[in-house]
Each structure stands twice: as structure tokens, then as C-alpha cells.
Amino acid sequence: MSDSAQSIARPVVRIVALQFTIAVLFSALVAYFAGVEKGWSAAMGGAIAVIGSGAYALIVASGGKDAKAALKRHELAEMVKLFITAVLFVVALVLFQSATGLWLILGFAVATLAYWLSLLAV
């Protein structure tokens, strides 16, 4: 991996790792205070956000320094992230009938908020 790719990849990996950590902590708190089933629902929501962010990160970190190419990678990464997020929500709601919709969405929201806030920290 080139130096420029490493300089891009390092903060991107930190952001996704922080998002994952906050999603795990939130789902553990939900499981402890509201019950295991709701905790798993929050974990699925958090996982949806983390998987989408991970896909975004992989696409964005794969390029060089060219500004036009970087913009195209970000656009592609965002489209892929939105598609993955939509598909995973459908899969979670269809395959896991026991998933609590509110906690699924809250888990996703907390993980997404963690992603936005981590952008300020990195």
C-alpha cells in the first residue's frame, strides 16, 4: 500500500472502529436494561451502519491523490453504502421477525451519529 493510501486508510479505519465500538456498547446497554431481544435488535441496527461505513471506507481508501478520481470514488462509495444499508434493513426485518423495529432503528441511529461525531475527532 502506498504512503498516500495509508494516510487515507488510517483515519478511515479509526472512524469505522470507533463507530463499531459505540454500536457494541449501545447494544450491550440496551440488552442489560431493556432485554436481550431488544439488545440484539440494537446490535443489528448498529451492524447495518458499521457494514455500510466499512464498505464506504474500503472504496474511498483504495485510490490515489487525483481529485476527480477521489470525487468519483466518494460518489460511488455513497451509492454503495446506501444500497447496502437498504438491503440490510430489508434482510433484518424479513429474516428476523423477532427484531424490534424501534431498537433496530435506534441502534442504526446511534451508530450513524457516532460516525458523524467521530469525523470531528479524527
Report residue 100 as a C-alpha cell: 424490534
Residue 100 makes CB contacts below 8 A (sequence gap 6+) with: 37, 38, 41
- Give the CA-trace dihedral at 80, 82, 87, 88, to 10 degrees: 100
With a cut of 60, say whether residue 53 has pLDDT above it: yes
**Cell 477521489 sits on residue:** 70
* Domain assignment of residue 57, given as a range: 3-121
pTM above 0.85, yes or no: yes
With a cut of 60, say whether residue 61 has pLDDT above it: yes
Number of structural domains in the chain = 1
Average pLDDT for the chain: 89
Q: What is the pLDDT of residues 86-95, one digit of tens each?
A: 999 999 999 9
Task: Identify whether the C-beta of residue 115 lies closer than 8 Å to the C-beta of residue 107.
Answer: no
